[in-house]
Chains A and B, each alone.
Chain A
Amino acid sequence: MAKKFVGERVPRVEDQRLITGRSQYVDDIVRPRMVYAAIVRSIYAHARLKGINVEAARRAPGVIAVFTGEDVREAIGPVPVASRLPDLKIPRHPVLAVEKVRYVGEPVAVVVAEDRYQARDAVDLIEVEYEPLEAVVDPERAIAEGAPILHEEFGTNVAFVWQLSGGDIERAFRDAEVVVSQRMVNQRVIPVAMEPRGVVAEYHPGEGQLTVWTSTQIPHLLRTQLAAMLGLAENRVRVIAPEVGGGFGSKLNVYAEEALVGYLAMRLGRPVKWIETRRENFLSTIHGRGQIAEVEAAVKRDGTVLGLRYKIIQDVGAYHQFFTPGVPTLTGLMAVGPYKIPHVHFEVTGVFTNKIATDAYRGAGRPEATYMLERMMDRIARELGLDPAEVRMRNFPQPDEFPFPTASGLAYDSGNYSQALRRALELVGYEKLRREQQVLRQQGRYLGIGISTYVEICAIGPSPALPFGGWESATVRVEPTGKVTVLSGASPHGQGQETSFAQIVADELGVDLSDVRVIHGDTAIVQYGIGTFGSRATAVGGTAVYGAVQKVKEKATRLAAHLLGEENVANVAFEAGQFFLKDRPERRLTFQEVALAAYLAKSLPSGMEPGLEASYFFEPSNFTFPFGAHIAVVEVDPETGEVHFRRYVAVDDCGRVINPMLVDGQVHGGIVQALGQALLEEAVYDENGQLLTGELTDYAIPKATDVPWLETDRTETPSPVNPLGVKGVGEAGTIAATPAIVNAVVDALAPLGIRHLDMPLRPEKVWRAIRGA
């Protein structure tokens, strides 16, 4: 019996090269005669460009060229937006600003020099003449009377209004015994991938091919867009995503610099490198979240939630990036969460502000939905004097109600929500903790228990739900020696699919894990694919791999039958890497022998092509809906407002698990990012649109010492949507943990009459709330 890999804690095959520093990131790429680009960025949030004097920079040592927006406006198409909504206002978004700048950090000009020092020095020599305009930073102000308008052609800062309704919301509020409402701010946060963005581009005039190495999550989609922006045939553009040092959605995009550096390489006939600095990363890579919400719940006294009404303002930023308008629609789709809430009305108004665009950041719209809803469930429990766990239990659909149709129009694939919550309550010792909380309160100590039950929409997604196809592709190629090469259209960047895909293939073909190599991220090697985001790579990409390997097995079995002289293919079994006749098991061939025979092709069944490889494009019939329950236990220091963790319990159900270690890793990372938003992180701008938290010395992301011991557990409810039964887990922690932590803090402060606090719950904010209580 061959070793089984699926379900095992297989160490990541990626780790050796990462840990020993032998992986290749964009900045590790060096091409002959390569030159360096540096970008002049707007220092104003809103200003008219009166003139740009580049003469001194052009004459500076080592400088090869300087380009401004006027120089390239004809040559490079605008930065694209993929998401579409009814009446969506799409302003022209040039790669270098023309006439106006609309956020601090907007690219204004680019310098190319022999080395990166000379390029950076020349940036300081470029004189940009601005006529500053009043900036608008706060999205509520941006839609108020008399606010400065970012894009004059629209006469308004409203970029879109999108609504979603299910059931009869008026009826819900008519039938309500109690109405609970709350205003909540889901603050702007900055993704801060460890590796900032970076691009190397090289043009081969002989082949007419542009090769672009870029730190991206979507090499194929990017290739299509770059070809359009640069006026090239798509098959003359090669995009390579080398090692990508974290994305979290921030590299699920098409950025101005990617087209600009490609253009420079063609125009100058030399390879060009641009590496984003951390400062630029803060200013000009997309931000996440940025929603202001008014939420109203219609409830019965027993805790049953009849309906939810959401009115949301989404801070868009100055322009749309690739998915900007689509992100809050995911909030709407998930507006009823894991609950059987029959009536919902959701309205989001997207608003232009003088800031970098918001776009998909780990969870992309779903953390916002879960945050609002889980805060509301706690508010409802408090209002009605019920236990927050009990209120949740009362509103869950039962396991036999799946596939569960939601008021927001989705069909949740499978689930057992109460089981996950019960498990989490058990693990944390809920009853005992509640008793301890009572005792501590008598002593003036503030212990808080925060529950969050969530469902997320993953495996994004069926093609009708996406602007560019929601399937994923795979090729499984068995080499003549029996080694297996997998080409995946997904583009993992830290998630570990080189390992999990190899596990799937090794089990199916009965080969060793080390016999399988997974290649991704190079459009010249890998067939078209969609990429890695939305917790889709395993559920959609992994299923594509699974589908391709079935086709390989089917062909290999037919060939084995032929080689074994068996006419009845059904009499051939394939187990543990060996083909044999079921009635004469001594007649057998190894997988490697069959692979070689497929290539030598000396004797093939009639009509069979030589070779042994297959491709599979998997189109999912639905999303998947992972779920779970997280519980945070904190103690608040009433003197300082500091929040100290006592426990953190996470029970996640992501369907069938390919590699528990990878799942744990994803859950850990997600919780840590959620903790960052709950307690530490916030993109703070001043009224002039200057980013005050523009450095890692001012913008706090969690450090290892900020993170409590994470007690993870799982329930396993397979998804019926794909044959692997997997659901996806990349964003679960980010979605679940933020409200768990905030609920815990608010629960701790409940005796003081505190009902809500907006994130981040930094000590001073908590201290002021306590003092004001």
Chain B
Amino acid sequence: MIPAAFAYFRPTNVKEALTLLDQYKDEAKLLAGGHSLIPLMKLRLAQPRYVIDLGRVRELEYIRESGDQVLIGAMTRHVAVETSDLLRQRCPLLAETASVIGDAQVRNMGTIGGSLAHADPAADYPAAILALDAEMRAVSSQGERWIRAEDFFVDMLTTALQPGELLVEIKVPALPPRTGTAYVKVAQKASGFALCGVAVVLTMDQQGVCQHAAVGITGVAPKAYRARAVEQALRGQKLDASVMAAASAKAAEGIDPLEDLHASAEYRAHLARVFCRRALEQAHARI
């Protein structure tokens, strides 16, 4: 568990970090909370020549309101997301998701930006980020751009971030009235990652008809996905247990589920359906 040699940089602001990234390009790795990168380095599965530690880039640690959005700095620790009063009031789904990441030690060190940029197929945030239609702001020496959640996750461990780009901010919507959300997860017991995690956003109109339904599912497929068929089966419907159950049956439709030591593809797809229903029921009950 001893990493190969590397050069270490600790910039204190985004500008310095970008300069280093431009200089060392794909020989450099960005270090945020370190919960993915450092184990890989200790096993020598990752052997970056340069490590750029963002731990002192304080300007990326914040959670603030901006109109009907909440902005979160990429270096915000999971524990800050979990315990943020602002998020709990305006976007409780993200706080709930953060609260079940790993364990307390992981949440004290890990960052939302680090997790999203690593794009582990079993990470918790992607389900919520997708269900919330969040947007990610990436900056580089060339400028900046916003990336929609659905464009952000490209494949297993692959995002839309380009070499030289740094993820700096996540924008989530403050939820409208008559909205209920839930994140329900079953963890792989060794790692704490999700065997299946389902994030749900439901908005109802005055008559109790589903206006908006968004379902993000992580852990099941090579990348987190939106369960569009489920959403379609809910929209415009009065939601009761049987409607939600019928919709949930479509939670793994069109998906090629992961299969590994911890769960077969068949079981993962089954979990997606079961936990989709449970997440819907919970979100519905919270409206």
Contacts and interface: CB of A to CB of B under 8 A. Distances in A.
A346 B270 CA distance: 43
Contact of A764 (B1, B4, B263): B263
Given A120-B2, A277-B1, A640-B271, A684 B190 contact: no
Given A692-B261, A693-B261, A698 B190 contact: yes
A228 interface: no
Contacts, number: 49
Given A117-B2, A121-B5, A640-B271, A699 B43 contact: no
A703 interface: yes
Contact of B264 (A279, A640, A701, A764): A764
B186 A684 contact: no
Interface in B237-287: 261-264, 267, 270-271, 274
A298 to B, nearest CB: 39
B191 interface: yes
Given A640-B274, A700-B189, A767-B270, A116 B264 contact: no
Interface string B177-197: 000000000101111000000
A767 B1 CA distance: 36
B39 interface: yes
A462 interface: no
Interface string A693-720: 1011111110100100000000000000
Contact of B190 (A124, A700, A764): A700
A639 interface: yes
B1 A640 contact: no
A279 B271 CA distance: 31
B190 A279 contact: no
Given A279-B1, A764-B263, A703 B103 contact: yes
B266 to A, nearest CB: 9
A533 B261 CA distance: 34
Contacts of B188: 700
Most buried by B among A279, A639, A693: A639
A699 B262 CA distance: 10
Contacts of A142: none
Nearest to B195: A763
Contacts of A639: 274
A642 interface: yes
A278 interface: yes
A700 B263 CA distance: 14
Interface in A739-769: 762-764, 767-768
Interface in B101-117: 103
B5 A117 contact: yes
B6 to A, nearest CB: 11
B90 to A, nearest CB: 29
A277 B186 contact: no
Q: Is the interface of A mostly helix, strand, loop or mixed?
A: loop
B103 to A, nearest CB: 7
Given A279-B1, A639-B274, A767-B270, A697 B189 contact: no
B186 A763 contact: yes
A283 interface: no
Contacts of B43: 279, 695
B4 A121 contact: yes
A116 B43 CA distance: 15
Nearest to B190: A700
A698 B186 contact: no
A698 B39 contact: no
Interface in A156-175: none
B32 to A, nearest CB: 19
A762 B260 CA distance: 14
A323 B186 CA distance: 40
A516 interface: no
A277 B2 contact: yes
Contacts of A696: 190
B190 to A, nearest CB: 4
Interface string A627-671: 000000000000110100000000000000000000000000000
A766 to B, nearest CB: 11
B87 to A, nearest CB: 23
A767 B267 contact: yes
A115 to B, nearest CB: 10
A229 interface: no
B186 A642 contact: yes
A763 B4 CA distance: 38
A680 interface: yes
Interface string A119-144: 01100100000000000000000000
B261 to A, nearest CB: 5
A768 to B, nearest CB: 8
Interface string A669-700: 00000000000100010000000110111111
Tell me which of A121, A692, A762, A763 has the highest count of chain B C-beta atoms within 10 A of its own C-beta.
Answer: A763
A764 B5 contact: no
A763 B264 CA distance: 11
A684 B190 CA distance: 14
A311 to B, nearest CB: 30
A622 B1 CA distance: 45
Contacts of B4: 121
Contacts of A764: 263-264, 267
Nearest to A117: B2
A517 B190 CA distance: 40
A763 B43 CA distance: 29
Interface in A598-618: none
Contacts of A120: 2
Nearest to B277: A639
A640 B189 contact: no
15 contacts: A278-B1, A279-B1, A279-B43, A639-B274, A640-B186, A640-B274, A692-B261, A695-B43, A696-B190, A697-B191, A700-B188, A700-B189, A763-B186, A764-B263, A768-B267
Given A640-B271, A696-B190, 14 more contacts: A116-B2, A121-B4, A680-B189, A693-B190, A693-B261, A695-B43, A697-B39, A697-B191, A698-B261, A700-B190, A706-B189, A763-B186, A764-B263, A767-B267
Question: Top 9 A-B pairs ranked by shortest CB distance?
Answer: A700-B190, A700-B189, A120-B2, A277-B1, A697-B191, A764-B267, A639-B274, A692-B261, A698-B190
